[in-house]
């Protein structure tokens, strides 16, 4: 059974915004279908989701991978439905840069801050509850011989991102 099931349109209140996440966005039949769906009936089992929706391509470019797999179902609606069910939405962002590129970006104060700003904007614009960093390529493709040099930049990045997201 799919995690979020698209239900047929009945009567939708078009004046509501998808990200508001309230029952007025849907008609009575849609709300009944929603509350009976897998997402809502199992919300006690799911506290947070980490969908793989984004890929970091450069200091200022985060590719939206959601639209590729869901061209007709808006991300704001998916986020809204999960939030209505009481589930935190913390999407994952992967490293889509070339070998040694991300470590170089993080070592540079200006580009590191650009990455932080890009991620913070993504989170706030989409009303996410946070972000999950899955930079395995950065951690392993670069090779473990780079870790000692990269570690201070990584720590600085995490500190800067944390401050920005909590402000």
Query: Where do the domains of the chain lie?
Result: 48-165
* Whole-angstrom distance, CA of residue 135 vs CA of residue 42: 30
Angle at 110 between CA 113 and CA 132, to 5 degrees: 30
Identify the three-state secondary structure at position 150: helix
pTM of model > 0.75: yes
Q: Domain 48-165 falls in which CATH fold? A: TIM Barrel (3.20.20)
Q: What is the pLDDT of residue 93?
A: 96
The H-assigned helical ranges of the chain are 28-36, 38-41, 66-69, 75-84, 101-107, 109-125, 136, 147-165
What the block records as the tokens of 125 is 């614009």
Measure the N-to-C terminal CA separation of the chain; round to a whole number of Å. Answer: 38
What is the pLDDT, as a whole number, of residue 133?
97
What pLDDT score does 139 carry?
Answer: 78
Q: Which residues pair with 93 in a beta bridge?
A: 54, 133
Specify the pLDDT at position 143.
86
Tens of each residue's pLDDT in the chain, 167 residues: 344 433 333 332 333 234 446 677 777 887 788 888 888 888 888 899 999 999 999 999 999 999 888 777 888 888 888 888 888 999 999 999 999 999 999 999 999 999 999 999 999 999 999 999 999 877 788 888 888 899 999 999 999 999 999 99
């Amino acid at each position: 059974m799919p995690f979020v099931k698209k239900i047929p349109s009945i009567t939708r209140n078009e004046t509501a915004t998808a990200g508001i996440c309230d029952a007025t966005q849907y008609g009575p039949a849609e709300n009944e279908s929603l509350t009976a769906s897998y997402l809502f009936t199992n919300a006690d089992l799911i506290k947070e989701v980490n969908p793989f929706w984004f890929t970091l391509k450069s200091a200022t470019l985060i590719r939206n991978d959601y639209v590729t797999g869901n061209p007709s179902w808006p991300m704001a609606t998916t986020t809204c439905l999960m939030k209505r069910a009481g589930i935190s939405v913390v999407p994952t962002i992967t490293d889509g840069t070339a070998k040694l590129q991300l470590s170089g970006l993080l070592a540079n104060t200006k580009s590191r801050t650009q990455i932080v700003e890009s991620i913070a904007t993504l989170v706030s614009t989409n009303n996410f509850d946070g972000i999950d960093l899955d930079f395995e390529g950065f951690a392993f493709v670069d090779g473990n011989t780079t870790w000692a040099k990269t570690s201070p930049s990584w720590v600085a990045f995490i500190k800067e991102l944390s401050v920005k997201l909590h402000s």
